[in-house]
Structure 1
Amino acid sequence: MSFAEDTKLAAALAEAAGRIALAVRASGLVEGRSLGDAGDKAANAFLMPALRQHRPDDGILSEESEDSAERLSHDRVWIVDPVDGTREFAEGRSDWAVHVGLSIDGEARVGAVALPDLGIVLSSDPAEARATGKTGKMVVSRSRAPALAEDVAQKVGLELVGMGSAGAKAMAVVRGEADAYLHSGGQYEWDNCAPVAVAQAHGLHCSRIDGSALRYNRAEALSPDLLICRRELAEPLLGAIASAQARV
């Protein structure tokens, strides 16, 4: 399959799964945490068979499906989060997302992130335009911001802004609403595979917070930390992170 075909599929799947989740919420028949679970499961119930139909020879890793070591035998593995930010989704907020990513040989190569409440789908198509102006902002988790974020932000002169899902935060950088996204509190591969694929395609720096490469389709799906930022900020941010950690 070509890069363009995979990207088109990822975007179509993310957009459709987002519409399904919105319909679940709009029904008004489920509330609270149960609404988050229902949206997750409904979107996943669509994504899994759709991927198997369109890419039957690829592996799949989804937050909402039982994992299998079988995926480790594949070079191409779709990594999906049907509703990233279930809390925000259930609260009726807009900062949640649908992630459809494709890891090829352990790298996030293709991805689409839907922001359904905003009617937006961003993908790894490099032709998509994005804003380029500096904002002076760094997005972090609104509920569990990493402890080093305040120190790092102060060192590089950025204002911290709390936001919901990982996908929403990453896309804020892609869309030019923030200059950086820092996370150090622990994630899984489905939290950042698609966002990283999109961000990289749009020319942003993506790495672990020690500067090392992000790797996917590993036996243990934990993905502990993440930095997505404008390329010119990568060196000062990584330096500030290393300095802050050295004092701990």
Structure 2
Amino acid sequence: MSSIRNDHEVARDLATEAGQQLLRLRARHGFDEPEVLRTLGDRTSHEFLFSALGRLRPSDAVLSEEGIDDKARLGARRVWIIDPLDGTREFAEAGRTDWAVHVALWENGDLVAGAVALPAQGSTLSTVDPPWLPDERPADQRLRITASRTRPPDFVQRLATQLGAEIVPMGSAGAKICAVLLGIADIYVHAGGQYEWDNAAPVAVARAAGLHVSRIDGGIPTYNGVDPSLPDILVCRPELSGTLLASIRDVTDRDGTGPHVGG
């Protein structure tokens, strides 16, 4: 891998290659021991990405879900934020395609590049060539909200009821945000607790594609924080953001939970 590629290409190529390694691991190991497969998947992808970034961008820091959080990153100008295997549960289930690899770059206070590989779907969405967002969605189409297939939050159910929206169950956060990018869903909203690596890469791609991205109180999500937790996120088509933020405020005000809703 050439070290002269730009950061967008590095993110795309590393996410794609890590995904290919995960597919090969799946094929070799099979699904009879899901816990073992999950552990192998996390470790294999992390070791590849960490090593490749150390070779290609040796001066940059790395924040990985599977690595030790070296607080030296807080003084770094550039930090790669990676989730080597997002949707570990789905990865270890035969036939599931809703898992992903996330690679994002934070530089001088903001996300500047990112890629989300969807290996079992045969695609990588990245800031190299962000997905094209249709100008309009069909006016008569019911809104679709992506939510966890195993732990759908009560908050999202209440929001869907208020909006008359359909809930589309799905695995990883990356797959959910990519579903919005690809027009499979209109909204991804989460308020049950995440970390920066869960959404940095898909947020970078979503922003590049022109989607609205914010916290559920309308604030701007920030990265490379002392505490890498990022409890909530909203990703949607820009024309829906005002209605959604108002509905979120209404739902949280009525149940008394405030802006950071558990579930």
Normalising by structure 2, we get a TM-score of 0.89
- 2:97 corresponds to which residue? 94
Gaps of 5+ in 1: none
Deviation of 1:126 after TM superposition, in Å, equals: 4.8
Matching residue of 1:49 = 51
One-letter code aligned to 2:122? G
Structure 1 match to 2:161: 154
Match in the other structure for 2:221? 214
Which consecutive residues of structure 2, in runs of 5 or more, have no partner in the other structure?
256-263
After superposition, the C-alpha distances for 1:149-203 in whole angstroms (9 at most, x for unaligned) are 1221222232111100000000000011110001111001000000100000000
Who is 1:239 aligned against?
246
Aligned length: 245
**2:171 alignment partner in structure 1:** 164
SS in 2 for 1:148: helix
2:15 matches 1:14? yes
Q: Distance in 2 between matches of 1:229 and 1:125?
A: 21
Give the Å deviation of 1:107. 2.0
Distance, in Å, in 1 between the alignment partners of 2:172 and 2:190 is 11
Match of 1:142 in 2: 149
The answer as to whether partners of 1:21 and 1:40 remain within 8 angstroms in 2 is no
What's 1:23 paired with? 24
Letter in 2 for 1:245: T
Shift of 1:235: 0.7
Amino acid at match of 2:19: G
Contact 2:130-2:205 within 8 A present in 1 as well: no
From the superposition, tell whether residues 127 and 142 of structure 1 become closer, same or farther in structure 2 (CA, over 3 Å): closer
Residue type at the aligned position of 2:18: A
Report the more deviating stretch, 125-134 or 50-59. Answer: 125-134
233-242 or 124-133, which moves further after superposition? 124-133
What are the Cα deviations for residues 80-109 of structure 1, in whole angstroms up to 9, with x where unaligned? 001100000001210000000111233222
Of 182, 185, 191, the match for 1:178: 185
- What is residue 187 of structure 1 aligned with on the other side? 194
Range that drifts further, 106-115 or 95-104: 106-115
The 3-state SS of whatever aligns with 1:65 is: coil
Partner Cα distance (1:173, 1:113) in 2: 13
Question: Are the counterparts in 1 of residues 133 and 210 from structure 2 also a CA contact under 8 Å?
Answer: no
Counterpart check, 1:115 vs 2:118: yes
Q: Match of 1:27, SS?
A: helix
Q: Matches of 2:110 and 2:154 in 1, distance apart?
A: 28
Query: Do 1:145 and 1:183's aligned partners in 2 also have CA atoms closer than 8 Å?
Result: no
Q: Give, in angstroms, the shift of residue 29 of structure 1.
A: 5.8
Would you say the 8 A contact 1:141–1:183 is kept in 2? no
Give the alignment's Cα RMSD to 1 decimal: 1.5
Runs of 4+ in 1 over 6 A off after TM superposition: none
- Could you tell me which of 71, 74, 83 is aligned with 2:73? 71
TM-score normalised by L of structure 1: 0.94
Q: Distance in 1 between matches of 2:23 and 2:109?
A: 32
For 2:242 and 2:109, locate their aligned partners in 1 and report how far apart those are by CA, in whole Å: 24
- Whether 1:103 aligns to 2:110 is no
Using a 3 Å threshold, how does the CA distance of structure 1 residues 37 and 130 change in structure 2: closer, same or farther? farther
